[in-house]
Chain A
């Protein structure tokens, strides 16, 4: 082992002695920064991953959307293009809109999604999100409510609710009265996302078409791709064959604004958290500078023994590198441990502060998701080790500038 590395290691972790306080503090500083970055980026990644899963589970990987509405001939063209695509596994038409739902004089204004269940069950696994009832019971006179909507209105399985369509307003203008549609609650679902769970109604495509007077027209298609198919390539290929006025969008494009906000938040948080490691790097610089001053005569001795200036510099640079490596390794271990026990920790914090319900309501997820991307881990490792090594450069430069004769003479 080259002597600068040997000496650097010995100065940081002397044999037979306790690890110097400055080494501990420096390593801990880097470790805390790394752990915080890892946990934050993983939780942010978890939110993104969860949202992606929920979007795909409720919409499919690709959506074909019509600019206005797809009538039967246009729908047939779209279906022909979808059937011809080698990447498409299944597809289902949908119609969507808003209604007023009333139960025992209590109104709500949920979003409604109408679909053909026989086709839809091949596209999205809605059944796995049902907490009561069954999709098999869904017919043109029944609906499935989201969990929070049902509990807010006090609706239970088997109750009857009234649906008021916007079509009633159009009829009212013509002095016609459109009575609300009385439907049975055939099931309750819970996805785990507060926005979807709070105010969504699922119904058959025919019921939705009746409520909005769409006749046979639909708003678009949800598309499930074959396993391993690239969604961007599949959407691009579909767009070559779709009729005018329709467009295939990946789940990412269909929620581009939301994804852009998530991505921006993630990048900003990463940027801000890097300052923790920068501060830790300053602490390394300051500690090593103190060491250079404290060890001035030893540095002089190394010169007197034949140590070159660049080797003396390397000794301090390597100390920064060692601190970076040790701090990063410790930080990763701490970060992964925190991620492993995150639900216990969050539960504890929630109990101590706002309460679990408030937490779920505010953060929209019932459990703290986490998804650690290898790219994020690599980025954190590179950044922290690089920052720590650079932190050692200033003390190294100062040590290298010391003339042995001056250093040996110093008091």
Chain B
């Protein structure tokens, strides 16, 4: 399977993705025809210089942003034909996201933050509570469930964010520089944990990172350069 040759068995596929941004009186072409495919359970890293369009690509793959042209498939569904509202409705079931700045809700404790994804899907019962508890235990925070984000360290907050992303059993996890705010050792621990739990949950992972060591831990390493995707 190749990033440049999308497969019909891919859980996430993008073909010919292009995106430009206005920059003063010019137009800046950030992505100029990116092809990308991700198999179920696969882990892929995307590296690139600052401003190379990694986060833009991730936002487009997540359905948060629209490409100027190109096609996007979530499983077999043509996501490029869906409105932003329809994408929003499907996103919570299809994918989970992990951000550099964690983005935990400060008023909710760790357990409630993890549970929020399930709550947004419509209901929280015993099964959802049990899963949130299990996920917190899995990321090593079984005893910290009732701590607010402000009472957690950066690494712990990112672990909560990982658990939250996995709560709804998504097919894909998109992680946008998840170690950017962490020290090297904590970052290594978080990446190790992220890869392990994704494997356990059979979730595919797209990891955007600057760190070559972290990138090497994924099954495929891609590089975004001059608006095009290539092998690292």
Contacts and interface: CB of A to CB of B under 8 A. Distances in A.
Interface of A: 3, 6-7, 10-11, 14-17, 297-298, 300-309, 311, 403-405, 408
Nearest to A307: B120
Given A302-B120, A306-B121, A308-B85, 11 more contacts: A3-B116, A7-B105, A7-B116, A11-B107, A16-B146, A301-B103, A306-B89, A306-B90, A404-B64, A404-B88, A405-B64
Contacts of A306: 88-93, 117, 120-121
Contact of B107 (A10, A297, A307, A408): A10
A305 B120 contact: yes
A341 B97 CA distance: 58
B59 A17 contact: no
B170 to A, nearest CB: 10
B207 interface: no
Interface of B: 59, 62, 64-65, 85, 88-93, 97, 99, 101, 103, 105-109, 112, 116-117, 119-121, 146, 148
A305 B116 contact: yes
Given A17-B148, A404-B64, A405-B65, A304 B97 contact: yes
Nearest to A311: B120
A362 B120 CA distance: 62
Contacts of B93: 306
A14 B112 CA distance: 11
Most buried by A among B64, B112, B119, B148: B64
30 contacts: A3-B116, A6-B119, A7-B107, A7-B108, A10-B105, A14-B106, A14-B108, A16-B109, A16-B146, A17-B107, A297-B101, A297-B103, A298-B105, A301-B103, A303-B64, A303-B88, A304-B62, A305-B92, A305-B97, A306-B88, A306-B89, A306-B90, A306-B93, A306-B120, A306-B121, A307-B88, A308-B85, A309-B88, A403-B64, A404-B64
Contacts of A405: 59, 64-65
Given A10-B107, A11-B107, A15-B109, A304 B64 contact: yes
Contacts of A297: 101, 103
Contacts of B108: 7, 10, 14
A300 B62 CA distance: 13
Contacts, number: 72
B54 to A, nearest CB: 13
A94 B62 CA distance: 90
A330 B106 CA distance: 27
A16 B62 CA distance: 34
Contacts of A307: 88, 120
B107 A3 contact: no
Nearest to A14: B107
B89 A308 contact: yes
B112 A10 contact: yes
Contacts of A16: 109, 146, 148
Contacts of A301: 99, 103, 105
A306 B101 CA distance: 19
A3 B101 contact: no
A306 B116 CA distance: 11
A3 B119 contact: yes
B198 to A, nearest CB: 18
A300 B59 CA distance: 12
A303 B62 CA distance: 11
Given A16-B148, A301-B103, A405-B65, A308 B88 contact: yes
B215 to A, nearest CB: 23
Nearest to B91: A306
B58 to A, nearest CB: 10
A306 B92 CA distance: 5
A157 to B, nearest CB: 73
A389 B51 CA distance: 43
A397 B169 CA distance: 32
A403 B109 CA distance: 26
Contacts of A404: 64, 88
Contacts of B112: 10
A302 B121 CA distance: 12
B102 to A, nearest CB: 9
B64 A305 contact: no
A323 B116 CA distance: 23
Contacts of B148: 14, 16-17
Nearest to B59: A405
5 nearest A-B residue pairs (beta carbon): A306-B92, A14-B107, A301-B103, A405-B64, A3-B119
Contacts of B119: 3, 6
A68 to B, nearest CB: 78
A75 B27 CA distance: 101
A306 B89 CA distance: 6
Given A297-B103, A298-B103, A305 B109 contact: no
Contacts of B88: 303, 306-309, 404
A3 B108 CA distance: 12
Nearest to A10: B107
A311 B65 CA distance: 19
Contacts of A7: 105, 107-108, 116
A319 to B, nearest CB: 12
A203 B148 CA distance: 81
A304 B59 CA distance: 9
A305 B85 CA distance: 12
Contacts of A300: 103
Contacts of B85: 308-309
A295 B187 CA distance: 26
